Structure 1
Amino acid sequence: MDKNLYAEHIATLQRRYDDILEACGFDTLNVFSGAPKVQFLDDNYYPFKVNPQFKALVPVTDNPHSWVIYRRGQKPKLLFYRPVDFWHYVPPAPQTYWSDFYDIELIASPADAKQFLSAEGAAFLGEADGLDGWPLGTPNPEALLARLHWARAYKTPYELACLRQANRIAVKAHRAAEAAFREGASEFEINLAYLQAAAQGENRMPYGNIIALNEHAAILHYTHLSEQRLPESERRTFLIDAGADCNGYCADITRTYAYRDGEFADLVAAMDEKQQELVAGLKPGLPYPDLHRECHQKVGELLNRFGVIKTSADNAVESGLTGTFMPHGLGHFLGLQVHDVGGHQAGPEGGVTPPPAQYPFLRTTRTIEENQVFTIEPGLYFIDSLLAELKDSELAKEVNWSKVDALRPFGGVRIEDNAIVRADGVENITRNCYAED
């Protein structure tokens, strides 16, 4: 990663953090990377996941017991944990594009950090388990967190570069996963092909990969990964929702494939067209829920065009019929976290703008602004539990149940890209990465 780009990024962060600390009445932030957690009744640890507030300040994602001490107007101090340990890997002292921007102290034990901390005028960000009696400061102040979360929505050029690289890695792996599907691999084998192509292990993935064949594509967060290979005659659908990591920033991409030509393949192609129209709708000044409503209109159009419903798209949206076939939100903020923070926030000071009552799972209610990054992921599914509820409702007469039964074995379709909002248009990171090959 370019050092000059990072220099601009850390300068922006310092201005941002200085202003936020002053507004909230603090001089210092003590930010803990976190500590590994021991599994219940065992002596092994759960996979370590870094505190996102820590990696917001320094691109270190895999080193527990580390700290960033940020004092207003000063160079941030990084306490980097390097134990003497013959059991586990010990990371080298940082010597990379970002290390000159931190005053780095190497600590050999977790307790060594205590001497560098002060509670006076300080706020603490992180989990405090095992830190009783430490001089941490005010733990996780809501007003300060609200301002940090709000600001995270506006990405710096360095952050955008990381998100582009995460997409490049993920697109390469998506191509490998599609090839494995077409060769008859099981869900488990497809996932291995994905991880190998990404050169990232499961613990580094931003979330559990969704690798779904046939009816499993109707399970929105399916991560079971069957080891069973399907005979060619039974191969119908492959839905993959999987990402990658770059310096702590996430990719989040979904593709759906039909094994052979036919009506479902046509539905996938039609959804792809609708998805790109929705990406183009990411315009500064538009409330995100308005784009979500437009998504339901497009889903209604597809349901009508493919004969799944007997009524018009307008009527299907108005009655809530489209919600059976697309129960989730259109997308979300993307950045250091897959579902990045602040999506429902009303303003920098906090408060919540809840999603519309008819769309309770919408993760973003903010107004779209320049330099924000979103996922756009419309879907259309045949989910047994929701279809059973629909069949018992007054709207059942609006549905062509024979067509539902014909498409049910395919599970569903979802297409997801990652996109940067620009003043003069949208940069579709994901499509650009596909076009690079």
Structure 2
Amino acid sequence: MNDALAALYPQHLATLRERTDTALARGGFEHLVVPAGRPITKFLDDLDYPFVVNPHFKHWLPLLDAPGSWLVYTPGEKPRLVFLQPRDYWHVVPQAPQGYWVDQFDIVVVRKPADAIAELPSPARSAIIGDRDCGFDQVCANNPQAVIDHLHYHRAYKTPYELELMREASRRGTRGHRAAEHAFREGASELGIHQAYLAAVGQLDAELPYASIVGLNEHGAVLHYTNFDRHSPAESRSFLIDAGAGASGYASDITRTYAGRDAGEFQALIDAVDAAQQSFVARVRPGQSYPELHVHAHHALAGVLRDHGFIRMSPESAVESGVSSAFFPHGLGHGIGLQVHDVGGFQAAETGGTIAKPEGHPYLRLTRPLEAGMVVTIEPGIYFIDMLLAELKDKPFAGDIDWARVDAFRPYGGIRIEDDVVCREGEPENLTRDAFALL
């Protein structure tokens, strides 16, 4: 894989330089300065939280464990890496940079944070991108809006190098999903399933792009369930796993739902959601309005609810009345890349602005029209969430819902199917299904 990355990386770097040249010119700055960040110390403690690198830093180079280091770019010059390699016998010191990318940088190795600061250009002429914890008092992030807007807008368009890393992240994630399904079939607890996932992926919790969701039975109805029960339930009726993996800082985001033994009707509902999901994936094409695709998904899932006997109303009525939102209360998906919920999803243009969410759909995370090079998730679901269903019982249309059938499915929690999909000029590329196929 490194040979492929080595061939693709120079073009990726050239693209970043071109985007940054324009962004700096618009903001009136001469330099881009990006701190990798620093570990954050726990309150009243001398221990740090796991280090998470600044996404703008890892956009340029595949260094995830370089706290205290800095990227410096000046248009027309070779980018510089100020690499902090401290004298430290308490911790593992980061290795000197090596690999397919190092020849593209001027690298300065320093031993102290103050020495790194001395290598930076004048803060007054620099766009410094980071949070309040990733710099130092002498060099504070200013995050100029004109620069941020341009870089975030264009980050949606993935380079071939980025897509190759996202394919690898999907391959790692699907290995974990296959191991998790096997552990579920063997009757493991939620914690045991998660441990099987980590072992197959080969990553620690802190290295994953987000906290894994591993829900058995009713727990599948909790959208962001991360509790990990230590004991196996008496009966494993259903299993929902939403878990990803990373590759040089790029994320995969994958969800699957499985039925336990003797769950024929629930399996039929999973199959219906899966078929609907694949039909939505097929619409990931240039020019497609993502909000319109989200609303279309509501109509399609309302049809599934009707066909499977949960509601006695038309899909149009179910969507207009809000019934569909009680069973499908989140957005259809989001952009993905350096972050699992990548930036720029609402931007109207490279100069800023916001594209509003459709009325009645507050949790949609992406409103930009789809264009070639974007990578998005498609993750429809049907859930049986007590709180939301209780609100429907007081509505005039409550008689159009088969409550006995709803109650029969509550013990299964819910269903979500999620793939990562590349928008291309022709057929979309489904990173997730392709990775599963390789297994």
TM-score over 0.5 (shorter chain): yes
Aligned to 1:124: 128
Contact 2:36 2:134 in 1 (8 A): no
Aligned to 1:312: 314
Q: CA deviation at 1:60?
A: 1.1
Aligned to 1:243: 244
Equivalent residue for 1:341, pick from 340, 343, 346: 343
Q: Distance in 2 between matches of 1:282 and 1:133?
A: 45
Structure 1 residues 353-362 or 386-395, which shifts more?
386-395
Contact 1:283 1:368 in 2 (8 A): yes
CA deviations 1:150-172 (Å, max 9, x no partner) are 00000000000000000000001
Equivalent residue for 1:363, pick from 365, 386, 393: 365
Equivalent residue for 1:419, pick from 414, 421, 437: 421
The size of the alignment, in residue pairs, is: 434
CA deviations 1:356-391 (Å, max 9, x no partner) are 121110000001100100000000000111111111
Aligned to 1:259: 260
Equivalent residue for 2:193, pick from 177, 190, 195: 190
Provide TM-score, normalisation by structure 2.
Answer: 0.97
Aligned to 1:290: 292
* Map 1:138-157 → 2, pairs under 5 A: 139-157=142-160
Q: CA deviation at 1:130?
A: 8.1
Contact 1:28 1:71 in 2 (8 A): yes
Contact 1:170 1:198 in 2 (8 A): yes
Q: Distance in 1 between matches of 2:320 and 2:404?
A: 23
The share of aligned pairs that are identical, in percent, is 50
SS at match of 1:106: strand
Aligned to 1:270: 272
Are residue 55 (structure 1) and residue 61 (structure 2) matched? no
Contact 1:81 1:108 in 2 (8 A): yes
Q: Distance in 2 between matches of 1:155 and 1:48?
A: 25
Q: CA deviation at 1:120?
A: 3.9
Q: CA deviation at 1:127?
A: 2.3
Contact 2:23 2:146 in 1 (8 A): no
CA deviations 1:189-247 (Å, max 9, x no partner) are 0000000000000000000000000000000000000001123xx21010000000001
Q: Distance in 2 between matches of 1:289 and 1:58?
A: 33
* Map 1:220-235 → 2, pairs under 5 A: 220-231=223-234, 234-235=235-236
* Map 1:7-406 → 2, pairs under 5 A: 7-117=10-120, 118-129=122-133, 131=135, 133-135=137-139, 139-231=142-234, 234-260=235-261, 261-406=263-408
User: CA separation of 1:369/1:263 partners in 2, compared to 1, >3 Å: closer, same or farther?
Assistant: same
SS at match of 2:241: strand
User: CA separation of 1:416/1:85 partners in 2, compared to 1, >3 Å: closer, same or farther?
Assistant: same
**Which one-letter code corresponds to 1:82 in the other structure?**
Q
Q: Distance in 2 between matches of 1:312 and 1:7?
A: 54
Q: Distance in 1 between matches of 2:30 and 2:397?
A: 59
User: CA separation of 1:281/1:24 partners in 2, compared to 1, >3 Å: closer, same or farther?
Assistant: same
Provide TM-score, normalisation by structure 1.
Answer: 0.97
Structure 1, gaps ≥5 residues long: none
SS at match of 1:240: strand
User: CA separation of 1:111/1:175 partners in 2, compared to 1, >3 Å: closer, same or farther?
Assistant: same
Q: CA deviation at 1:394?
A: 2.2
Q: CA deviation at 1:318?
A: 1.9
Q: Distance in 1 between matches of 2:201 and 2:136?
A: 40
Q: Distance in 2 between matches of 1:51 and 1:132?
A: 14
SS at match of 1:370: coil
CA deviations 1:243-300 (Å, max 9, x no partner) are 0000100000000000124100110011111100000011111110010011101110
Q: CA deviation at 1:98?
A: 0.9
Structure 1 residues 87-96 or 312-321, which shifts more?
312-321
Structure 2, gaps ≥5 residues long: none
Q: CA deviation at 1:129?
A: 4.0
Contact 1:307 1:403 in 2 (8 A): yes
Structure 1 residues 50-59 or 425-434, which shifts more?
50-59
Structure 1 residues 245-254 or 102-111, which shifts more?
102-111
